[in-house]
Structure formats: C-alpha cells, structure tokens
Amino acid sequence: MEDTRQRIIEATYACVARWGLAKTTVEDAAREAAVSRATIYRHFPGGRDELVHDVVVWQLLVFFRRLYDEVQGAESLEAVMERGIRFAHRSILEHEVLQRVMETEPETLLPTLTVESNRIRGAVADFLIPYLHQHGLSPGVNPDEAADFLARMVLSYMASPGRWDLDDPTQVSELVRGELLAGVVVGPEPGIGPD
C-alpha cells in the first residue's frame, strides 16, 4: 500500500524531470508507475494537485535527510551552520529538476513551496534549538525567537545568496559568525564536542 504510494510519487517525479511540472498529467504518472488512474485517485483523492504537492514534500524530505546527514558530527554550532549552508547552496544549484522548473515555470512550484516554507522554517528552527542550548545563548536571548530568526535567515541565504559567495568557505564562515550568530550566542568557543 505505502510502497505503491511511494512508487507513484517517484514515478511522477520522473515525469516532471522529463516534461516539466505543468505538462505532467495523472495519466503520465499512472503509465510511468504502471498502475491505473483509479489507483492513483485511490492514493491521492485530491488528484493531480495532491500528487504534485506530495512530490514536492517528498523532495524536501530527501533534501533534509541529506542535510541532517551532512551536519551530523559537526563539532560546533558554527560548524553545523557552515556545513548546512554550503550543502544547501550546492544542493539547490545542482538540483537540475528544481532549476529547470524555476527557470521555465516557477508559477507551478512557488505556491506549494511558499506554503511549505512555514513548515521548513519550523523544522530548521527545531533542529537548531538543541545546538543553541548546548552552545550557550547570549544573556536575554529567547531560544525560540533566536531559532526562528536563524531559520528565516538561513532560508533566505539558501534561496538567494545575494552578495555572498556561498561556495567560498571563508565567506560562509564570516556570514555565520556575523549576520547569523553574533547576537545569538556568547562569544566564539572552541568545539563543544567531546574532544
């Protein structure tokens, strides 16, 4: 049951990669997954909209799973954020399907992405909170407020680096220590890991 659902999602993604988001139909997804249209509607009663939404959510989950793997074992809050930002930046640039959709038909993707961005922000903030506590917050800084601010800024740089070259480790380090963490945590410390 769940296997079929996931198979349909991955088949739909393959169609999007080939033909774009707007041109992918429920029939295409059914053919690619080798199931009937009725099966698709049984798993996705909302039809095409639900299917597309779930494809986006699935891709986001894949991305965040890789991001978590990437920052696992980072020895400090700074290292977590630096690795995370560089990984996210690379992943977005190298995501061919995302890049093509954003270039040719952004209006098909952006509404879903914008709605999801609230959940993404919450997930990034929740992820950061334990690191903030571990590192030690500046006096008077509310951890939830700080985590929300950091999540907002991280997502902003990820989506639009602006003047920052996020391929350059020196710049990313400067960004993290300056615009991101300077007001949030007490002065830079050596590693917080068990070394």
Partner 1 sequence: MTAEGARLRVVQGETEAGPGAHGAAVSPHRIRIVDAALDCIARQGTAKTTVDDVAHRAGVSRATVYRVFPGGKDELLGAVAETEMARLFSALGARMGAAEDLSDVLVIGIVEAVTRITRHPALTYLVAHEPDVVLGHLAFDESNRLLGAAARFISPFLIRWMDPEEAARVAEWATRIVLSYCIAPSAEMDLTNPDRARHLIETFVLPGITALRAPDRTQPVDLSSFAGDRAEHADRFQPSQYQTHPTTTTHSKGDVR
CA 188 to chain centre: 27
Q: Using an 8 Å Cβ cutoff, are 134 and 161 in contact? A: no
Q: Which of 28, 141, 171, 192 binds partner 1 (CB under 8 A)?
A: 141
Least separation in angstroms between CB 34 and partner 1: 32
Least separation in angstroms between CB 153 and partner 1: 7
With CB under 8 A as the contact rule, which of the stretches 1-9, 46-54, 63-71, 99-107 interacts with partner 1? 99-107
110 lies in the binding site for partner 1 (CB under 8 A): yes
Q: Can you tell me the distance from the alpha carbon of 63 to that of 57, in angstroms, rounded to the nearest whole number?
A: 10
Q: Using an 8 Å Cβ cutoff, are 112 and 53 in contact? A: yes
The separation between the first and the last C-alpha atoms of the chain, rounded to the nearest angstrom, is: 46
118 lies in the binding site for partner 1 (CB under 8 A): yes
Q: Can you tell me the distance from the alpha carbon of 165 to that of 168, in angstroms, rounded to the nearest whole number?
A: 6
Q: Where are the alpha helices (H) located in the chain, listed in sequence order?
A: 2-19, 26-33, 37-43, 47-71, 77-94, 96-104, 106-135, 143-159, 169-175
- AA letter at 185: V
130 lies in the binding site for partner 1 (CB under 8 A): no
Binding mask 144-183 for partner 1 (x = CB under 8 A): xxx-xx--xx-xxx-xxxxx----------x--xxxx-xx
Pick between residue 10 and residue 174 the one whose CB is nearest to partner 1: 174
Pick between residue 58 and residue 164 the one whose CB is nearest to partner 1: 164
- Chain residues in the site for partner 1 (CB under 8 A): 102, 105-107, 110-111, 113-114, 117-118, 121, 138-146, 148-149, 152-153, 155-157, 159-163, 174, 177-180, 182-184, 187-188
